C-alpha cells in the first residue's frame, strides 16, 4: 500500500495479558517510529528505528514494552503484562532519512486494557 | 528536557475570520519546529515546518526565538480548516523524535 499500515486497528484485552501491535511502513523508508497517544494528549515518543536497530528507545516507559524490526521493514511493538494505564492509541510513523521531520503516520492501533 | 505548550484546547471562529493557534516551546538550543494536522477520520500529517518558510493551505508560521514561539496563522479561516493541530519540536539532527504539544482543536463555523 501507499501509506503506513497498522494492525490491529482496535485491540481489547484484559489486564495482565500480552499484546503485539504491528506496523508496516512506507516502502523505502528507513526510519520507523512508535508513538503513544493518550486521551487529550499529543503523541508521545516511544522508540525510533534506523534500519533494523533501535537507535533511540528512551521513550519506552518501562521494561514491559519492547519493539523489534528484524528485517528493517515491518515492526512489532510488544507489551507484556498489560495494565489499564497502557490504554491508548499507538501510532507508528516512518520517514525517509533525508527528509528529517516529515513523519508519515499510520491510523494507529487503539488498545483498551480492561 | 524540551517541552511544547499549546495553551488553547479549543479555538472556535467563524468562516472568514483570522486564526492564530499558539505554540510556545522550551529548549535552550536551536530546535526545528513543525505543525502537524489531523482532520476528522484522517491520519496525522505534516502541515508545515519552519525551515521551509512556506505557506500551506494559506497557513504560515514564523519561528520567534526571542519569545520561543511558533504560532500558526491564517488570515481567513475556511470550514475545511476545522481539525486538530499539533505543534511539534525536534532537537535531533538527522532524525525526528518529535516532542508534541497537547494540540488545539480548531472549529470553523459557517
Strands B32-38 and B45-49: antiparallel
Backbone phi and psi for residue B55, each to the nearest 5 degrees, phi listed first: -105, 125
* Residue A22: band (very low, low, confident or very high) from pLDDT cuts 50, 70, 90: very high
CB contact under 8 A, A101 and B43: no
- C-alpha grid cell for residue A22? 504491528
Q: Which residue of B has its CA nearest to A31?
A: B95
Q: Which residue of B has its CA nearest to A46?
A: B97
For residue B17, the distance in angstroms to the closest alpha carbon of chain A comes to 26
For residue A36, the distance in angstroms to the closest alpha carbon of chain B comes to 11
- CB of B3 less than 8 A from some CB of A: no
For residue B80, the distance in angstroms to the closest alpha carbon of chain A comes to 20
B-chain CB neighbours of A45 within 8 Å are 97-99
Please tell me whether the peptide bond between A41 and the residue prior to it is cis, using omega within 30 degrees of 0.
no
- What is the reported pLDDT for B71? 97
Q: How do the pLDDT tens digits run along chain B, 110 residues long?
A: 889 999 999 999 999 999 999 999 998 888 889 999 999 999 999 999 887 778 889 999 989 989 999 999 999 999 999 999 999 998 876 566 889 999 999 999 99
> Which helix (H) or strand (E) covers residue B32, if one does?
strand B32-38
Distance CA B49, CA A101 (A): 8
Amino acid at each position: 500500500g501507499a501509506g503506513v499500515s497498522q494492525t490491529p486497528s482496535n485491540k481489547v484485552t484484559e489486564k495482565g495479558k500480552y499484546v503485539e501491535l504491528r506496523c508496516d511502513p512506507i516502502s523505502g523508508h528507513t526510519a520507523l517510529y512508535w508513538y503513544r497517544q493518550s486521551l487529550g494528549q499529543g503523541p508521545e515518543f516511544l522508540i525510533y528505528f534506523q534500519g533494523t536497530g533501535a537507535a533511540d528507545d528512551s521513550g519506552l516507559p518501562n521494561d514491559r514494552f519492547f519493539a523489534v524490526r528484524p528485517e528493517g521493514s515491518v515492526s512489532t511493538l510488544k507489551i507484556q503484562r498489560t495494565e489499564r494505564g497502557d490504554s491508548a492509541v499507538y501510532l507508528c510513523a516512518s520517514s525517509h532519512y533525508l527528509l528529517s521531520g516529515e513523519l508519515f503516520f499510520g491510523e494507529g492501533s487503539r488498545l483498551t486494557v480492561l | 528536557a524540551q517541552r511544547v505548550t499549546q495553551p488553547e484546547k479549543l479555538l472556535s471562529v467563524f468562516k472568514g475570520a483570522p486564526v492564530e493557534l499558539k505554540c510556545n516551546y522550551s529548549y535552550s538550543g536551536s530546535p526545528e519546529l513543525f505543525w502537524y494536522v489531523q482532520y476528522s477520520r484522517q491520519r496525522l500529517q505534516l502541515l508545515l515546518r519552519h525551515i521551509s518558510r512556506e505557506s500551506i493551505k494559506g497557513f504560515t508560521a514564523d519561528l520567534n526565538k526571542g519569545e520561543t514561539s511558533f504560532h500558526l496563522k491564517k488570515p481567513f479561516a475556511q470550514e475545511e480548516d476545522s481539525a486538530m493541530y499539533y505543534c511539534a519540536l525536534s532537537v535531533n539532527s538527522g532524525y525526528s523524535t518529535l516532542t508534541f504539544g497537547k494540540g488545539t482543536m480548531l472549529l470553523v463555523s459557517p
